[in-house]
Amino acid sequence: MRIEARGWGWRHAGRQAWATRGLELRIEPGERVLLLGPSGAGKSTLLLGLAGLLDATGGAAEEGHLLLDEGPARRARDRVGIVFQDPETQLVMGRAGDDVALGLENRAVPTDAIWPRVDAALAAVDFPYPRDRSTNALSGGEKQRLALAGVLALRPGLLLLDEPTANLDPDGADHLREVLRSVLEHGGATMVLVEHRIDEVLPLIDRVIVLEPGGGIVADGDPLGVFRTQGSTLEEAGVWVPGHRVSPPPRRQRPPVETLVLAEGVGFAYPGAAASALVHAEAQVRSSEALAITGPNGTGKTTLALLLGGLLRPGSGVVVAGEALAPGHGHDPIWRWAPERLVGAIGSVFQEPEHQFLAGTALEELTIGPRRIGLSAAEARGRAVELLERLRLAHLAEANPFTLSGGEKRRLSVATALASAPAALILDEPTFGQDRRTWSEMLDLLAGLRDTGRAICFVSHDRDFVNALADRTLRLSPPAIGA
């Protein structure tokens, strides 16, 4: 499909600033485009517009034209496939095979052709389960594979991918890129890809387009030419470029290490699941240290993070507080703590930021934790304003959290965990959706908290981030079959 933007702009409902404006763009059929730009530059908004999923009602505003094959994008939705940043928003059926089949049924594909296409799509993304696997039992990375399978089964003329490897382990990400290479070579679809792992996707693309916040294009051309001539400028603007250098934080004097949370022999099975998500895990979360939890998709990393944060009751084993976290109450099971006590001791950042948003504005969101632990309204507001400034979100103080970009949502979710000043911070994929600048700022922020005595525990597939921040690494393996 051919893409054309003629002075196109979009402003989300409830926002004063335009997500993008005055966009002039033409992409020819079959081109493979990497879309770059700092966090908040409008990359995801453009993908949603191309998918025909933006509705200019309820306070939203649109100007100009966004066209697919000379017609309005919203009229070509049946020829477009999109994989969102968050696969949770894309999966609607209870069983994996049914979810892939749904789109085919909606497009009136003959019944006898549906299931062969479902099976082929699941095989293409190396989905590790049969069709009847519950979608609620999947890890974040497995959900991402399933979402991609649902799109590939449709054989779209335009393929839109919003950070499709963000929730995948390195081997899974490599496999997905091979799948995309094969699909593009044999199907000839036009592709627009948003991705921060630049080095790995270069073989898939033939053009780079760099957006700037608020509208406009700052670079457009073949990848090697753009990065050779404008790489330094783009890097300074916060855009990821190939071969980016990661500087670890400076070494600082730290307070003595003390155990804050201890997990021994921990196991957990989700209701209705045929197998345990986690079996006999051991972990220590200690002050003045950063612990990285790594491993392939489906090994229970997110489950362990929720257990360490006191948000799940262990099915077996124990997760208890250390004496340093709960003086006089060491060895108390954390899952039994009242919310007021838990929020002041352990802050959790979920894999899907939307799961922890409760308020109508970013500023209000950041006052919830401080108010819960007893701060006055003025004190809570002051802490919220400080965090918004620190995480480059001050201009979004009155924005609805659900209207933020993926990277902005992630930073806000981190801020909500920090707002109550907990002694331990548990984060699930903290660098998801971050541009180069905010990635570095996240690294410096967490390293600074660690060096002043906080405990940092984070789940991540981001090897650069793990190498730069972690003092210890806990690598999980898949539970044994039948466990």
Average model confidence (pLDDT) across the chain: 89
How far apart CA 228 and CA 225 sit, in angstroms, is 5
Q: Is the pLDDT of residue 9 over 90?
A: yes
Q: What is the pLDDT, as a whole number, of residue 310?
A: 95
Q: Is the pLDDT of residue 432 over 90?
A: no
Spatial contact of 195 and 186, defined as CB atoms under 8 Å apart: no
pLDDT, greater one: 316 or 231:
316
Mean pLDDT of 210-220: 87
Q: What is the pLDDT, as a whole number, of residue 482?
A: 47
Q: What is the pLDDT, as a whole number, of residue 366?
A: 95
pLDDT, greater one: 214 or 174:
174
Which of 302-316, 402-416, 456-470 is least confident?
402-416
Q: Is the pLDDT of residue 104 over 90?
A: yes
Spatial contact of 153 and 100, defined as CB atoms under 8 Å apart: yes
Q: What is the pLDDT, as a whole number, of residue 480?
A: 57
Query: Three-state SS for 223?
Result: helix
How far apart CA 206 and CA 185 sit, in angstroms, is 13
Q: What is the pLDDT of residues 166-194, one digit of tens each?
A: 777 888 788 888 888 888 887 788 999 99
Which CA distances in Å does 237 have to 23, 36, 37, 437?
19, 11, 8, 8
Spatial contact of 266 and 316, defined as CB atoms under 8 Å apart: yes
Q: What is the pLDDT, as a whole number, of residue 340?
A: 87
- Top-confidence range, 6-10, 135-139, 272-276: 6-10
Please name which of 323, 345, 342, 327 lies closest in space to residue 423, comparing C-alpha atoms: 345
Q: How confident is the model at residue 479 (pLDDT cuts 50, 70, 90)?
A: low
Spatial contact of 443 and 453, defined as CB atoms under 8 Å apart: no
Q: What is the pLDDT of residues 49-85, one digit of tens each?
A: 999 999 888 889 999 999 999 999 999 988 999 988 7
Mean pLDDT of 198-222: 89
Mean pLDDT of 213-234: 88
Q: What is the pLDDT, as a whole number, of residue 185?
A: 82
Q: How confident is the model at residue 110 (pLDDT cuts 50, 70, 90)?
A: very high
Spatial contact of 158 and 80, defined as CB atoms under 8 Å apart: yes
pTM above 0.75, yes or no: yes
Q: What is the pLDDT, as a whole number, of residue 174?
A: 85
Q: Which residues of 400-426 are buried (b: 16+ CB within 10 A; e: fewer)?
A: bbebbbbbbbbbbbbbbbbbbbbbbbb
Q: Is the pLDDT of residue 406 over 90?
A: no
Q: What is the pLDDT of residues 324-335, one digit of tens each?
A: 999 988 788 999
> Which helix H or strand E contains 463, and what residues bound it?
helix 463-469
Which CA distances in Å does 332 have to 164, 339, 423?
40, 15, 16
Domains and CATH numbers, the chain: 3-236 (3.40.50.300), 259-475 (3.40.50.300)
Q: How confident is the model at residue 22 (pLDDT cuts 50, 70, 90)?
A: very high
Classify strands 217-221 and 207-211 as parallel, antiparallel or unpaired.
antiparallel
Mean pLDDT of 150-164: 91
Q: Is the pLDDT of residue 35 over 60?
A: yes
Tell how far CA 258 is from the center of its chain. 31
Which CA distances in Å does 198 have to 35, 37, 214, 430, 434?
10, 12, 23, 19, 13
Q: What is the pLDDT, as a whole number, of residue 309?
A: 96
Q: What is the pLDDT, as a whole number, of residue 179?
A: 81
Q: Is the pLDDT of residue 291 over 90?
A: yes
